[in-house]
Amino acid sequence: MVALPALAQDAPLPQQDHTEDDPAIAAYRERFKMGLERYKAGDVAQAIQYWEPLYRDLGPQKGYRVAYDLARAYETFGDATRAAERFVVFVDETSARRSKGETIDELVEKEAEDATQRLESLKKNRARISVPATTPPSSVAVDATEPRLAGFVAYVVGGAHTVVFDPGSNDMQRKEVSVANGEEIQVTKDSPAAPPPPPPLPVVTRPETTHPFSPAWIFVAGGATLASGVIPYLTYSHANDLRDRFSPPHAATASEQSDYSSARALAYGSWALPIALGLFTTALATVYFAKTKTVWVPVLTEKQAGFSIVGAF
């Protein structure tokens, strides 16, 4: 049979001058004694079931003596995490009372010293996994333990461990960690992933052609070039007519010879205008086609137009 540690059997609750006859305090003492009987009988789990609700009803300040007994029971039961938590409550409350100038019983002082040493031993011989509180609250399970709200330090045996946030929910996160005895690591819940951006709307495009100037200028220049071709035709016809008239057997006079020469020179010179107009038309066409560009521009679809209207409002 496992030897159980001695507990504060005579004074598990804080003594106050006016509470000796308080029926509520008397009921608390009775509940404590029932748990103590189970503890003495070796049924630590049943003792915890009596003392834990009693501690919650009293609260940390009034129930700090019960916290020490609970810590020893949890330690015996093998729950190092809750044992450490109750030891901390007992030590902190004892220190607070001492700082206020209250008289601390000799037994309580011994228990505070014992609790401090046991806490140090737990920190040295166990690994610690710190799980900070979350907003909104999350339940967390370390290995196979019962899930509890985040905001605690789990005392575990050094090695590999599994920390599960919100087990069994759609937001469940599992993390594998490794920590050695005497060390403490912090494990936090990852922030939820941002929702994926909406898929982009399909881009519809259409060709858009730009010209350096209106094509009408090319047609006008081309028409003028063709029209100017009439002038060489007329001047050549006139020069040929004079040549036929003044050719032998006709004896051309000096004046007639001069008229023919002038008509022939005019016919040759008449080509200057059509050639110039042709070159100008060619240059216009070259610039027009070289500077003409076709680009694809997006077209506002009906759905995109709807989004634009909503955005405008």
- 39-82 pLDDT tens trace: 999 999 999 999 999 999 999 999 999 999 999 999 999 999 99
- Cβ atoms of residues 102 and 153 within 8 Å: no
211 with 279, same domain: the answer is yes
In a 3-state reduction of DSSP, which class is residue 170?
coil
Cα dist from 135 to 29, 149, 164, 169, 277, whole Å: 38, 11, 16, 16, 84
CATH number at residue 65: 1.25.40.10
The boundaries of the domain holding residue 286 are: 204-312
85 with 103, same domain: the answer is yes
DSSP 8-state assignment for residue 109: H
Q: Which of 31-40, 107-116, 234-243 has the least mean pLDDT? A: 234-243
DSSP 8-state assignment for residue 240: H
pLDDT for residue 260 is more than 80:
no
- Cβ atoms of residues 123 and 88 within 8 Å: no
Q: What is the pTM of this model?
A: 0.59
Final residue of a structural domain among 99, 123, 147: 123
133 with 154, same domain: the answer is yes
> What is the tally of structural domains in the chain?
3
116 belongs to a structural domain: yes
pLDDT tens, residue by residue, 79-92: 999 999 999 999 99
pLDDT value for 81: 96
197 belongs to a structural domain: no
